[in-house]
Structure 1
Amino acid sequence: MSSPYSAGPQMLGYLYQVQYALLTLLKADDDEANAIVIEGLDDVELNGATFLELQQLKHHIGTKRQATLSNSSLDLWKSLRIWSEGIAQKRWNPLQTKLTLITTARAVSGSIASKLREHAGERNTKEALQELVTLAADTTAKAAAKAQAALAQGKKVQPTELEELVTVFGALKPAQQKQLVEAIVVVDQAPTMHNLEEPIKNKLRIVAPKDRLNQVYTHLLGWWYATVAEQLLNAPGANKPIKWIDLKTEIDEIIPQYRADRLPTFFARAEPDEDHYKALQGQMFVRQLDYLVLDAKRIRYAVKDYFRAFQERTKWATDKLLVGREVEDYEADLQERWERFVNRLPYQPEYSSYLEDDEACLRFGRRVLDWVEEANFPIRPAMPPTADYITRGSYHMIADRDVPPVYWHPKFLEKMAELVQEAGN
């Protein structure tokens, strides 16, 4: 249940701002100079080689009827206040700047906002300017009269929000007002948060595999939110722009991951937390490693590989990227490769007597583990070399079964059976 003070609409507004910025950059010309800054000079700032676009975004939800943008709408005047302060402080050149008010509301027919639409047949900046100047003057005059009347009665009245907003525009010089209005473009009835997905997908449709469009969209959105978050964490005024070429490069890297001969990777640098390391200490694959008397760091690397491979495989299954019994077939292939290696290893002189004593068993087991850690058998042929952790982690997942079909120490199954028998007695 929402309250008058609910943060939901505000949070949705922030998400809308971030997602619309992605659409803006996707729509930008193929120009390496184009770049986006979130919460820079404005909600969204698009920089080009010879132009600057500042966007104010207004998102409306929860109304039975579509919200409207009238001459007295606070959305209009809040944007005008921000832009009026910008032009007064000379933060940007009005002759090279486009000021865009993007709103999910509908501009009322014949209103100031309707006359600032980009469509040639509707746009009339001269009339819009006259009406803004008149409205600002009338509102200021009425506010002054109201304050004077209250003062005569020994009272004090607080100006309304609209009365405060119009004074900033009204304080500009006529030439500044004209430059400001001529730079404004109103984009009304913009897609809501729920409807932004489709225009973004339309931009990806021409490059993404048809049957993987949803996954490509989700993958790109994850990268975009992470990139914007990194930008917002920078010190105020030090925001690093997200360039069009960076976005294009990311798309170019994502698309091949969804070809038939490859699977996407998301967890190549994922780090399990300390609780995860502790929770896995009793797992079968860790017990196997303990039998080889390894140092703690090597075991942590194995846990890391297990964690990353498990996360990748879970996401592939969740996103329905796997075909048939692909994972089962992959594990069967890994198991056979292990069997072949273990069967030929005793033919090497240094491992020919590997069952004679405990030290020989340890040497043999460590050599098998070395082979696993050096292995890279991709689940699909075009997997990148950096996805080798999937092979290592998958081996540890197979080694984690109650009766593991792969093991390192040659007598591990015997030792495990002895422990089970002792526990039963």
Structure 2
Amino acid sequence: MAGGGEQYEASASALGYLFQFAKALHTCIEQWMNAGMDWSVAVEAADDIEKHTGSVTDLLQLKQRAEGVRLTDTSEDLWKTLRIWAEAAKAGRIDLAETNLLLLTTADLPEGSAGFCLQPQDSQHRNEDQALELLRAARKASKVSKGALLSCFAAFDRLDADDTPLQRTLISRIQVLGGTPDITDVRKSMLGIAAFAVGHEAAKAFLARLEGWFYDRVIEQMRTPGGSPVTGTEFDQVLTDLQHQFRYDNLPIDRDITGMAPDVSEAADKTFVRQLGLIGVGSERIGYAVRDYIRAFTQRSRWSDENLLRAGEIGEYERKLVEEWRSRFAEMAEDLGPEATEQEKKREAKLIYRWVDREARFQIRAGCDEVFVAKGSYHMLADELRVGWHPDFSARLMALLEPAGAR
């Protein structure tokens, strides 16, 4: 079992990655709102976050630290960041003329420190010459003789080790933003934007789906060598589609639910499966019915949990389904008459079920046209014996389901 210190380090590291993902998504949203379509964002590519807007590249280093932490001239956060950028510049992996280097930290910037002097270009406190002097002085005064910090110093030294010194050029491209919003504040900001897009009641559900898509997309990018970044066009398409799903006349259909392929054997004792068995529906079609039931049940439960349904909406939807079924069921019973054989009953019952399977496409909302919602909802009703296919379904199944001691 990990000790307290190790557990804290692991938690901090995990929170750092979550902060990185959240900030990258927030960056995409900001770009989408302000920069048109000509942009892209990648995670863990050339830096924590790599952003391209037109011909300009922004490389972002993120540091989330506890409240009260200060970014001093000998801070490891500062020097490790400088090492990353110094090595990339020295190797020619970044073009400093076209690249902005941003250190975003939740730590405070002490007045007069190098970080304080490297605040954004429009800051009255920015003083690149003083920042460089402070960094050189901190490096010279350091008593470090080994370890990570020494490697950082060495990388910074190498920038000026030949005839084309780069320290001053590198410093001119760096911007340090202290006291930046942490992961909690970033998510609050995104939630506010989501509320503006789809309303306060649906904001959390909307953001959860956007985050889910984005995290999957970033994992795909990171797992593929040279993986493609999220582009402005792609993000616009995803966001527009998601907004469409959250319109007043629609409800979201989730990919993890549409991909469900449940084990049919686990539903063998369900009443709606017994209903299909009464009329001789084959095992393959029963499998499809189980799939539609599970998907509809799960999606409806999620809508309910996320408060996306209006008061009484499911009850009204089921009333319509039952009434549409009732008129057809009554017509079937009337056509069969009291003398119908079992074979005739099954034949006509299969026609009722075929109607549900092929034609019954009643939408819970006008824009929500996913087929499994209606079909699965009918199976949910069949599971409660509120609808059925065999003319005698109620009596037969009630007898079948009645406890043996009660007969």
Q: Could you tell me the TM-score, scaled by structure 2's length?
A: 0.90
Could you tell me which of 389, 395, 398 is aligned with 1:408?
389
Mapped partners of 1:230, 1:259: distance in 2: 29
Shift in Å, 1:364: 1.5
Q: Deviations over 1:237-266 (max 9, x none)?
A: 322211122222222222233333222222
Is 2:100 aligned against 1:110? no
Deviation at 1:106, TM superposition (A): 0.8
Residues in 1 aligned to 2:382 and 2:3: alpha-carbon distance in whole angstroms? 50
2:400 to 408, 419, 423: 419
- Give CA-to-partner distance per residue, 1:15-58, whole Å, 9 cap, x none: 00000001112222333221111111111111222111111111
Letter in 2 for 1:51: V
Q: CA deviation at 1:89?
A: 1.4
In structure 2, what is the equivalent of residue 388 of structure 1? 371
* Equivalent residue for 2:238, pick from 250, 267, 271: 250
Residue in structure 1 matching 2:187, options 197, 206, 211: 197
2-structure distance, mates of 1:218, 1:160: 41
Deviations 1:185-240 (A, max 9, x none): 11111111121122223444543335433332233222222222332332xx3222
What displacement does 1:160 show?
Answer: 3.7
CA distance in 2, matches of 1:321, 1:296: 35
Alignment partner of 2:383: what SS?
Answer: coil
Question: Aligned match of 2:356 in 348, 361, 372?
Answer: 372
Is 1:271 matched up with 2:260? yes
CA RMSD across the alignment: 2.3
TM superposition shift of 1:323: 1.8
Deviation at 1:309, TM superposition (A): 0.8
CA contact (8 A) 1:35 1:241 kept: yes
Q: What percent of counterpart residues are identical?
A: 28
Q: Aligned to 2:325, what secondary structure does the other structure show?
A: helix
- Note if 1:302 corresponds to 2:295: no
For 2:392, the aligned partner's letter is: K
**Which of 356, 366, 375 is the aligned partner of 2:340?**
356
1:262 aligns to 2:250 (yes or no): yes
Aligned-residue offset at 1:168? 0.9
Decide whether aligned partners of structure 1 residues 27 and 266 sit closer, same or farther in structure 2, where only a CA change above 3 A counts. Answer: same
Return the alpha-carbon distance in structure 2 between the equivalents of residues 416 and 95 of structure 1: 78
Partner of 1:224: 214
* SS of corresponding position for 1:175: coil
Report the CA distance between 1:127 and its aligned residue. 1.7
Specify which of 61, 74, 83 is matched with residue 81 of structure 1. 83
User: 1:362 is aligned with what amino acid?
Assistant: K
Q: Distance in 1 between matches of 2:364 and 2:304?
A: 14
Runs of 4+ displaced beyond 4 Å: 351-355
Name stretches of at least 5 consecutive residues in structure 1 with no aligned partner. Answer: 144-157
- 1:203 to 1:418, Cα distance in 2 relative to 1, 3 A: closer
Query: What residue is the counterpart of 1:54 in the other structure?
Result: 59
| Aligned partner letter, 1:126 | D
Contact 1:306 1:397 in 2 (8 A): yes
Distance 2:400 2:318 in 1: 27
For residues 138-153 of structure 1, the aligned pairs below 5 Å read 138-139=141-142, 142-143=143-144
Unaligned runs of 5+ in 2: none
Q: Matched residues in 2 for 1:321 and 1:224: separation? A: 22
- 3-state DSSP of counterpart to 2:197: coil
Instruction: Specify whether residues 82 and 420 from structure 1 end up closer, same or farther in structure 2 by C-alpha distance, changes over 3 A only.
Output: closer
1:33–1:48 CA contact under 8 A, matched in 2: yes
Q: Is the 8 A contact 2:201 2:307 kept in 1?
A: no
Contact kept? 2:21, 2:215, Cα under 8 Å: yes
Counterpart-to-counterpart distance in 1, 2:181 and 2:196: 21
Matched, 1:287 2:274: yes
Please tell me whether the aligned partners of residues 355 and 361 of structure 1 are also in contact (alpha carbons under 8 angstroms): no
Match of 1:271, as an amino acid? M
1:100 aligned partner, one-letter code? L
Task: Work out the CA distance in 1 between the residues paired with 2:402 and 2:11.
Answer: 59
Moved more, 324-333 or 104-113: 324-333
Partner of 1:136: 139
**Distance of 1:327 and 1:205 partners within structure 2:** 24
Decide whether the 8 Å contact of 1:136 with 1:167 is kept in 2.
no
Aligned pair in 2 of structure 1 residues 421, 248: CA closer, same or farther (>3 Å)? Answer: closer
Deviation (angstroms), 1:306:
0.8
Find the aligned partners of 1:422 and 1:95 in 2 and give their Cα distance: 81
